[in-house]
């Protein structure tokens, strides 16, 4: 489907389309290109409806019968204007014959030029020969030429031998050529027969018949094919779009991968006032490379509004085998393909005793996939979970908050059980313009009913812990000058005292707790673990200091930085295993961060984590980006981890260098690239290189990108396995892309990347 989103008529163009008229391949706009100017008006006051005015150098004829006008003829009727060298006008029928050259500007703003015109001014119908045309509406432009043009009325047109495009005057770097073209503005559909897309004078697509929307509406038909080349050879997909109804549609995509075989994909989308969703299916009957049959992927998403208070949804994902994503997914999908989510939920909102009440019923399972080494990351299924929250403002400074949860955890290879959690708390909020103090007192109560599993007997157990904390902070401001600029600088000290008594939890299961990443924000949270199975022992004080630089007029934040540390009054801590350990130090780890604009066109961000246990840096990263204008960006980042999981089950020092760039080689040619390199172990994790070109007239752009990236670690060979891909995109103004979406790969890989066709120069 050649999708032109334009509500004007589309007329045909002949092989006689001359360069001096509309230009040729636009290395620069053709200075000889004249284009199509609107018909010139008389400048006299507007006439009454259905009254015709004729102005000419010479005029002869009989009143109310027939007239002959010659020399600079101008005819005006209603909102139409006709210019010509000569015109024969039949007054009773409002019929005109015009030549040797004419220009007709119609009521909708379309302008047609040509040699001869036979036209009915009253019915807006007629024929024209050797025409040029232009129409603009809703920021869309259409230009072209036609051997012959028939105008049936304002909404129906037909043309023979057509060439047209959506470029500016002087640019025919691409165009659509058809033997016959008809347009119907009432249905919003154009039909072209024996049509081809010509780029740089070379036909690149052909179809014997195609229909397309001319008013921006959706229309069933073939989309532009997508093609790519990579480790699996050449692949091609030919999507067909089904515009089934205004509120739902579908796409069927047959395709072929060179070394694997035929495949087919389908997507169905629907939208109703009460629900919305999509179904996406991909299927390959036989994979020649793997020697596997029936390889498939399914994704189902649905959101439902039952009432103003009750909503729900489904998110279901499945693949046929563990290697599906490694074989078919892109670089970014691989990182999210370990455990596939399967979730359904109901959510209820209601005002209860003058306060908001929320309840949710949820079930969740995962399809757990083996990694490249055959290992799995076990996750409990939730079958089901009932959660509720209620928060009541007792007075302007006091809030009563209650959280409750009942969950059934299930796993075939680990002990299953039920867990109930109730966590009531009272919070106070004392604040003014420059500071705040927010005490909180709560009791976290947990109860377990555990099933028998192997040698483990069924049992009940519980845990009750009081939690007390006080969060406080001050915001100080001053006028500051830096690098010649004026700013408002804030200084924001913050103290967070947190107390939870020590209690061994090694008799409790761990269904859903994990250690949170240590960060500046984590200093001011009451628990270092996620979930409800582990609550750390605390008698600590977190101290932080943050500063921000703001625009004094708009409040825009240019830069912020902070540093913080946690101090322990007792040395007890609860490990993820549940055992109660003793810290050997009173001072906790130190974290610091900084991010923002450090100078005109320069941006930086950094995070640093110092380990008190090891008396060494645990983790840090530093990034800097130079971005003077759209289309110009240089980026560098270094990431270090003292003991990180390099691949499943193997921990070592991590050192990554990530370099990326987008930079113009000439006024319209851009180079793009990225290198992600690991110094430990030494390997290139990802490398990307490409070129992008933007047509000077702005009517097309092209991108070619080559990418090579790691898909898995091979322990037997002691090396990484790579996948190679090539992306090409040809973007024609107001048409669909041809090729694959290279620009999407660049946007994800290059910080600050700008599409070349969006760079204004």
Q: b or e along 89-116 (b: 16 or more beta carbons within 10 Å of the residue's beta carbon)?
A: beeeeebbbbbeebbbbbebebbbbbeb
657-709 pLDDT per residue, tens: 999 999 999 988 999 999 999 987 788 999 999 999 988 877 888 888 899 98
Q: What is the mean pLDDT of residues 269-273?
A: 96
DSSP assignments along 259-290, one per residue: TTEEEEEEEEEEE-SSEEEEEEEEEEEEETTT
Three-state SS string over 208-227 comes to EEEEEECCCCCCCEECCCEE
Q: What is the mean pLDDT of residues 400-420?
A: 96
- pLDDT of residue 26 exceeding 50: no
pLDDT at 137: 67
pLDDT at 23: 36
Q: b or e along 682-715 (b: 16 or more beta carbons within 10 Å of the residue's beta carbon)?
A: eeebbbbebbbbbbebbbbbbbbbbbbbbbbbee
Q: What is the mean pLDDT of residues 427-443?
A: 96
Mean pLDDT is lowest, of 60-69, 285-294, 337-346, 446-455, for 60-69
178-215 pLDDT per residue, tens: 999 898 878 778 888 999 989 888 898 888 987 777 76
Question: Residue 668 to residues 568, 665, 693, 697: CA-CA distances in angstroms?
Answer: 59, 8, 6, 10
pLDDT at 652: 81
Mean pLDDT is lowest, of 186-190, 330-334, 357-361, 420-424, for 330-334
Q: What is the mean pLDDT of residues 344-370?
A: 95
Q: Let me know how many helices (H) and strands (E) the chain has, helices first.
A: 4, 46
- pLDDT of residue 399 exceeding 90: yes
User: 695 near 732, Cβ under 8 Å?
Assistant: no
CB-based burial label for 517 (10 Å; 0-12, 13-18, 19+): exposed
- pLDDT of residue 407 exceeding 70: yes
Q: How confident is the model at residue 726 (pLDDT cuts 50, 70, 90)?
A: confident
pLDDT at 543: 97
- pLDDT of residue 18 exceeding 50: no
Q: What is the mean pLDDT of residues 550-562?
A: 94
Closest to 88 (Cα-Cα) out of 103, 73, 78, 77: 73
Q: How confident is the model at residue 167 (pLDDT cuts 50, 70, 90)?
A: confident
pLDDT at 216: 64
CA atoms within 13 A on the CB side of 130: 10
User: 221 near 211, Cβ under 8 Å?
Assistant: yes
Q: b or e along 296-325 (b: 16 or more beta carbons within 10 Å of the residue's beta carbon)?
A: bbebbebeeeeeeeebbbebbbebbbbbbb
Query: To the nearest whole percent, how much of the chain has pLDDT over 90?
Result: 58
Q: How confident is the model at residue 548 (pLDDT cuts 50, 70, 90)?
A: very high
- pLDDT of residue 247 exceeding 50: yes
Query: To the nearest whole percent, how much of the chain has pLDDT over 70?
Result: 91
User: 574 near 582, Cβ under 8 Å?
Assistant: no
Q: Is pLDDT larger for residue 724 or for residue 451?
A: 451
- pLDDT of residue 740 exceeding 60: no
Q: What is the mean pLDDT of residues 569-579?
A: 87
Question: Residue 279 to residues 185, 269, 369: CA-CA distances in angstroms?
Answer: 33, 7, 21
Pairing state of beta strands 572-574 and 602-611?
A: unpaired
pLDDT at 532: 96
pLDDT at 748: 81
Three-state SS string over 441-454 comes to EEEEEEEEEECCEC
pLDDT at 230: 82
Residue 174, C-beta contacts closer than 8 angstroms, at least 6 positions apart: 165, 167, 197, 198, 199, 200, 699, 700, 732
Measured between alpha carbons, how far is 284 from 265 in angstroms, rounded to an integer?
9
pLDDT at 760: 72
- pLDDT of residue 446 exceeding 80: yes
CA 460 to chain centre: 48
- Which pTM value belongs to this model? 0.79
Closest to 605 (Cα-Cα) out of 558, 566, 642: 558
DSSP assignments along 74-107, one per residue: EEEETTEEEEEEEEEEETTTTEEEEEEEEEEE-T
52-108 pLDDT per residue, tens: 999 999 988 877 788 899 999 999 999 899 999 999 999 999 999 998 999 999 887
Q: Is pLDDT larger for residue 302 or for residue 28?
A: 302
The three-class DSSP label of residue 749 is: helix
Query: 515: which DSSP letter?
Result: B
Q: How confident is the model at residue 741 (pLDDT cuts 50, 70, 90)?
A: low
Measured between alpha carbons, how far is 544 from 589 in angstroms, rounded to an integer?
12
pLDDT at 436: 98
- pLDDT of residue 19 exceeding 60: no
Q: Is pLDDT larger for residue 735 or for residue 247?
A: 247
- pLDDT of residue 332 exceeding 90: no
pLDDT at 606: 97
Closest to 723 (Cα-Cα) out of 329, 293, 337, 373: 329
- pLDDT of residue 17 exceeding 60: no
Mean pLDDT is lowest, of 155-169, 324-338, 604-618, for 324-338
Q: What are phi and psi of 745, to 5 degrees?
A: -65, -40
CA 133 to chain centre: 37
- pLDDT of residue 716 exceeding 70: no
- Say what the alpha-carbon torsion angle 335, 339, 345, 348 is, to the nearest 10 degrees: -50
CA atoms within 13 A on the CB side of 514: 7
pLDDT at 476: 96
User: 191 near 209, Cβ under 8 Å?
Assistant: yes
Q: Please give the structure tokens belonging to residue 750.
A: 């290059």
Q: Please give the structure tokens belonging to residue 440.
A: 């909180």
Q: Is pLDDT larger for residue 9 or for residue 69?
A: 69
3-state percent breakdown (helix, strand, coil) of the chain, nearest 5: 5, 65, 35
pLDDT at 508: 95
State the DSSP H helix or E strand holding residue 171, giving kind and residue range, or none if neither.
none
Mean pLDDT is lowest, of 33-47, 183-197, 393-407, for 33-47
Measured between alpha carbons, how far is 677 from 142 in angstroms, rounded to an integer?
48
């Amino acid at each position: 489907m050649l999708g032109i989103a334009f509500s004007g008529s589309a007329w045909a163009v002949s092989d006689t389309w001359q360069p001096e008229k509309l230009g040729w391949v636009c290395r620069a706009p053709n200075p000889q290109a004249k284009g199509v100017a609107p018909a010139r008006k008389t400048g006299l006051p507007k006439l009454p409806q259905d009254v015709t005015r004729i102005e000419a150098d010479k005029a002869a004829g009989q009143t109310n019968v027939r007239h002959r006008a010659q020399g600079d003829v101008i005819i005006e009727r209603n909102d139409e204007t006709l210019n010509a060298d000569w015109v024969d006008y039949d007054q009773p029928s409002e019929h005109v014959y015009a030549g040797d050259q004419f220009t007709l500007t119609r009521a909708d703003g379309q302008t047609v030029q040509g040699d001869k015109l036979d036209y009915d001014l009253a019915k807006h119908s007629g024929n024209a020969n050797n025409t040029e045309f232009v129409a603009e509406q809703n920021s869309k432009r259409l230009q072209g030429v036609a051997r012959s043009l028939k105008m049936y009325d304002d909404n129906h047109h037909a043309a023979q031998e057509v060439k047209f495009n959506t470029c500016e005057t002087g640019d025919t770097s691409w165009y659509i050529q058809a033997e016959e073209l008809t347009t119907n503005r009432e249905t919003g559909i154009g039909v072209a027969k024996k049509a081809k897309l010509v780029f740089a004078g070379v036909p690149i697509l052909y179809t014997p018949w195609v229909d397309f929307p001319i008013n921006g509406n959706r229309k069933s038909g073939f989309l532009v094919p997508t093609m790519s080349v990579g480790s699996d050879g050449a692949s091609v997909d030919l999507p067909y779009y089904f515009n089934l109804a205004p509120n739902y549609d579908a796409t069927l995509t047959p395709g072929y991968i060179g070394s694997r075989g035929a495949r087919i994909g389908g997507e169905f989308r629907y939208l109703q006032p009460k629900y919305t969703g999509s179904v996406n299916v991909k299927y390959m009957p036989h994979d020649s490379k793997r020697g596997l049959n029936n390889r498939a992927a399914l994704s189902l998403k649905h959101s439902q509004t039952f009432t103003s208070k009750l909503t729900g949804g489904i998110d279901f994902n499945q693949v046929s085998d563990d290697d599906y994503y490694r074989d078919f997914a892109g670089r970014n999908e691989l990182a999210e393909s370990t455990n596939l989510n399967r979730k359904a939920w109901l959510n209820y909102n209601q005002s209860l005793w003058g306060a908001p009440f929320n309840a949710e019923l949820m079930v969740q399972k995962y399809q757990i996939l083996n990694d490249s080494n055959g290992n799995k990351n076990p996750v409990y299924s939730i079958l089901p979970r009932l959660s509720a929250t209620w928060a009541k403002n007792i007075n302007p400074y006091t809030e009563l908050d209650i959280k409750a949860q009942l969950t059934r955890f299930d796993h075939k290879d680990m002990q299953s059980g039920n867990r109930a959690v109730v966590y009531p708390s009272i919070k106070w909020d004392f604040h003014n313009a420059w500071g705040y103090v927010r005490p909180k007192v709560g009791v976290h109560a947990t109860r377990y009913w555990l099933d028998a599993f192997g040698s483990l007997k069924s049992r009940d157990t519980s845990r009750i812990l009081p939690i007390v904390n006080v969060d406080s902070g001050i915001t100080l401001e001053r006028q500051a000058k830096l690098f010649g600029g004026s700013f408002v600088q804030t200084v924001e000290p913050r103290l967070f005292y947190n107390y939870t008594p020590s209690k061994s939890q090694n008799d409790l299961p761990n269904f859903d707790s994990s250690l949170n990443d240590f960060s500046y924000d984590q200093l001011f949270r009451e628990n270092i673990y996620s979930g409800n199975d582990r609550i750390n022992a605390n008698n600590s004080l977190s101290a932080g200091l943050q500063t921000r630089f703001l625009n004094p007029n708009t409040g825009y934040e240019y830069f912020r930085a902070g540093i913080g540390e946690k101090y322990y009054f007792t040395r007890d801590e609860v490990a993820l295993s549940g055992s109660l350990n003793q810290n050997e130090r009173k001072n906790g780890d130190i974290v610091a961060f900084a991010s923002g604009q450090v100078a005109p066109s320069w941006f930086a961000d950094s995070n640093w984590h110092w380990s008190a246990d090891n008396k060494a840096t645990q983790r840090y990263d530093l990034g800097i980006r130079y971005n003077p204008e759209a289309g110009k960006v240089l980026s560098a980042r270094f990431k270090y981890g003292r003991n990180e999981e390099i691949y499943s089950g193997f921990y070592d020092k991590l050192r990554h260098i990530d370099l990326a760039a987008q930079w113009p080689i000439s006024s319209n040619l851009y180079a793009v690239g990225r290198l992600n390199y690991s110094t430990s172990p030494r390997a290139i994790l990802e490398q990307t290189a490409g070129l992008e070109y933007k047509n000077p007239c702005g009517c097309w752009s092209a991108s070619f990108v080559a990418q090579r990236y790691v898909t898995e670690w091979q322990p037997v060979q002691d090396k990484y396995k790579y996948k190679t891909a090539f992306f090409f995109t040809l973007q024609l103004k107001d048409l669909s892309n041809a090729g694959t979406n290279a620009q999407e790969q660049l946007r994800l890989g290059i910080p600050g990347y700008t599409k070349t066709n969006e760079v204004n120069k």
